[in-house]
Structure formats: structure tokens, C-alpha cells
Amino acid sequence: MWLSLDGPPSRWLATHGKPAAACGRRGLPSYEPEDGEDGLVVFDLLICNHDSVGQVRMLPRSYGVACVVAPDGPVALHHDPDAQWTYRPILYRLNAFHGIEALGSQQELRMRRDLRDTIIWRGTKYEENAAADVRADAILREHLSPLQRIEYVSEGSFRSRGGKTRNVYRIELGNGFQLVSPAGETIATYCLHPEEHIPYADVALATKLWLEDPDAELEALEGARTTVVGLGGKALPAQRFAERLERELIA
């Protein structure tokens, strides 16, 4: 599946309330293979004309660091020169309810892992990956409080209280975490995950441990990528972007 986005990125990134530096087409540094694996298939996963000429080609061995360097500094919307998939959004899927849906970072990592496993390992690692998810889910449940466990089972997310600030955070599997108000409204979203894919439940458990420890909470918040959405707003900037994309491309 691919989508084509025409025009410079500054136009369609600016809707997120921040001025976006134009991205040059130079500066896709490198794809570093994981564990030395090397694929022979060039696979066009996404065509993104972020400078009216360039394409982003996802190679099977591109499970590593890929980014676009903006001449004027970080690009708005999830840019980090050394993070995975910093040029956002990169991966979309068609969803019957939301139309075009931009996936979160963890979901992109997972997709790329599965894609790599399919192409390189011919699907032989599917069971291994499924077993990893089961183990991760089990260890997460072991370390949730009873109320968190109920929330996790019923909603797929759970709330946690910051050890230092006493803020309430909602940790979602595969979707970072959000700072929520006492009424449950999302104030800010945070993206914080390892640079390589690990099961969502492991990321959620690690996030919970970081946030609940008084000495570690601020460190976690400092390292997370933040988007402030305001009270009453939807938590997902990617969702707002996807909606705008849908209006422009499909409508």
C-alpha cells in the first residue's frame, strides 16, 4: 500500500500549529541492518514526494535508523535525527472507520519487523514473535495493580500515577502514553519507545515503571516526544493529520 503526497512538507505539516522547516531531499542517512541481516529485495512501501521529487523507499533491511534532516532544524511532528521513522507520517493504513489512519511509531516498528520477517525469514519467525507477545502480556499483567489490570483487560490501556508529579497518565499499548486530567481528558500525548521493536506490553510495562518511580518520572518525560492537545481534544495528532490527508486526497 502506498500513498503519494504532493507538495513540500511545510504546507501540510504546518497544520499542527508549528512552523515546519522544509525538508531537503538530501539527508536520509542510512539504513542499518539489524543483526547484520541483509535483504536483496527493494520494496516500495511508501511513496512520499516530500520534496516533489523524492521518494522514500523502504528496503527490507531498513529496520534501523532512517530520518530526514531538515536544514533549519527539527521538523515538526515527531522529528528526531536519530529516532526511527522520524519523518512523520510515514506509514498509513486504510481503516473502515477512520479512512486513512496514520500508525504510531511502535506500530510502524512492528509492521517493519513483520515485513522483514516475511521477506527475509519467509514467515518462520511468526510463532516466535507471537510467543514473545504472550510472554510480554503475562509479565505486564503480573505487575499491574488490580485496578490497572481491570482497565487493561477492558480498555487495552491502564492509568498510572506519576511518582514525582502525581500526574495521571494513561498508558496505551502500542501508542505511547497520555497525560490526562482528573476527568479523563487528554492534555498531552507522549511517544516513548525503544529504537527497535519490542512487544507492546513490554513497552507499556517499562513506561509504567519509569513513570511511577519518583526519581525516574521526570527523566522519562524529558526523553519523550510531546504533543500538547489541550483539554477536550483528541489525543492523537496523527489522527488529525490523517483526517486532513483524507480531506485533501480523497474528498
Partner 1 sequence: MGELRVLNKSGDIKVEWDPKDAASVANAKVEWDRLKADGYEFFEVTEAKGKKIDRFKKSAGRVIAAPGIKKPAERTSGVRQRAMAGGPNSRLVGFG
Question: What is the binding site for partner 1 (CB under 8 A)?
Answer: 25-32, 53-57, 59, 64-65, 67, 80-83, 128, 131-136, 139, 143-145, 148, 192, 194, 196-199, 202, 205-206, 208-210, 212-213, 215-216, 219-220, 222-224
Q: Which is nearer to partner 1, 10 or 129 (CB)?
A: 129
Work out how close the CB of 163 gets to partner 1 at its nearest, in angstroms, rounded to a whole number: 9
Within 10 A of 190 (CB to CB), how many other CB atoms are there?
A: 19
Work out how close the CB of 146 gets to partner 1 at its nearest, in angstroms, rounded to a whole number: 9
**Residue-wise burial string across 205-243, b where 16 or more C-beta atoms lie within 10 A, e elsewhere:** bbbbebbbeeeebeebbeebbebebeeebebbbbebbbb
Angle 87-247-88 from CA coordinates, rounded to 5°? 5
Work out how close the CB of 53 gets to partner 1 at its nearest, in angstroms, rounded to a whole number: 7
Pairing of strands 177-180, 168-172: antiparallel
63, three cell numbers: 529496520
19, three cell numbers: 512552523
Residue 33, preceding peptide bond in cis (omega within 30° of 0): no
**Distance, CA of 234 to CA of 128 (rounded, Å):** 35
Work out how close the CB of 243 gets to partner 1 at its nearest, in angstroms, rounded to a whole number: 27
Q: Which is nearer to partner 1, 56 or 180 (CB)?
A: 56
Give whole-number Cα distances, 213 to 163, 165, 178, in Å. 5, 10, 17
What's the residue count for the chain? 251
Work out how close the CB of 153 gets to partner 1 at its nearest, in angstroms, rounded to a whole number: 15
DSSP 90: -
Q: Which is nearer to partner 1, 65 or 238 (CB)?
A: 65
Q: Which is nearer to partner 1, 30 or 95 (CB)?
A: 30
Work out how close the CB of 97 gets to partner 1 at its nearest, in angstroms, rounded to a whole number: 30
Within 10 A of 142 (CB to CB), how many other CB atoms are there?
A: 9
Q: Which is nearer to partner 1, 119 or 216 (CB)?
A: 216
DSSP 6: -
Work out how close the CB of 182 gets to partner 1 at its nearest, in angstroms, rounded to a whole number: 22
Q: Which is nearer to partner 1, 141 or 244 (CB)?
A: 141
67, three cell numbers: 530520518
Q: Which is nearer to partner 1, 16 or 193 (CB)?
A: 193
